[in-house]
């Protein structure tokens, strides 16, 4: 189980800023980070921005429109 608990160190112990639902006298492992952790969706770039940064020029500008021509053959369609 992982939880994020904001706490203040009083010189002896960490005091939670909000109520916690931990049973008394239970053991926990703490991963401590100083300061305020801020990860709001508004602060993060949109995933498409990351993807577009990875994009590379693959050749002709009309590749998606004329893919069959660029792979060396034309596709034949049956008249339905």
pLDDT tens sequence across 53-65: 777 766 667 777 8
- The answer to whether residue 19 sits within a structural domain is yes
Number of C-beta neighbours around residue 7 at 10 A: 14
Q: What per-residue confidence (pLDDT) applies to 11?
A: 93
- The answer to whether residue 17 sits within a structural domain is yes
Q: How many CA atoms lie within 13 A of 60 on its CB side?
A: 10
| CA Rg value for the chain | 28
- The answer to whether residue 77 sits within a structural domain is no
- The answer to whether residue 46 sits within a structural domain is yes
Q: Which domain holds residue 22?
A: 1-56
- The answer to whether residue 66 sits within a structural domain is no
Predicted confidence band at 77 (pLDDT cuts at 50, 70, 90)?
A: low
- The answer to whether residue 29 sits within a structural domain is yes
pLDDT tens sequence across 2-22: 788 888 999 999 899 999 888
Name the domain count of the chain.
1
Q: What is the largest CA-CA distance in the chain?
A: 82
- Across the chain, the runs of DSSP E, i.e. the strands, are 7-9, 14-16
Q: Quick check: 52 pLDDT over 80?
A: no
Predicted confidence band at 76 (pLDDT cuts at 50, 70, 90)?
A: low
Do residues 45 and 54 lie in contact, with contact meaning Cβ atoms separated by under 8 Å?
no
């Amino acid at each position: 189980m992982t939880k994020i608990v904001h706490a203040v160190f009083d010189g002896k112990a960490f005091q939670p800023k909000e109520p916690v639902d931990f049973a008394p006298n239970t053991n926990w492992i703490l991963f401590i980070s100083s300061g305020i952790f801020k990860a709001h969706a508004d602060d993060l770039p949109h995933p498409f921005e990351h993807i577009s940064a990875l994009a590379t020029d693959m050749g002709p500008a009309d590749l998606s429109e004329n893919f069959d021509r660029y792979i060396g053959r034309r596709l034949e369609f049956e008249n339905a």
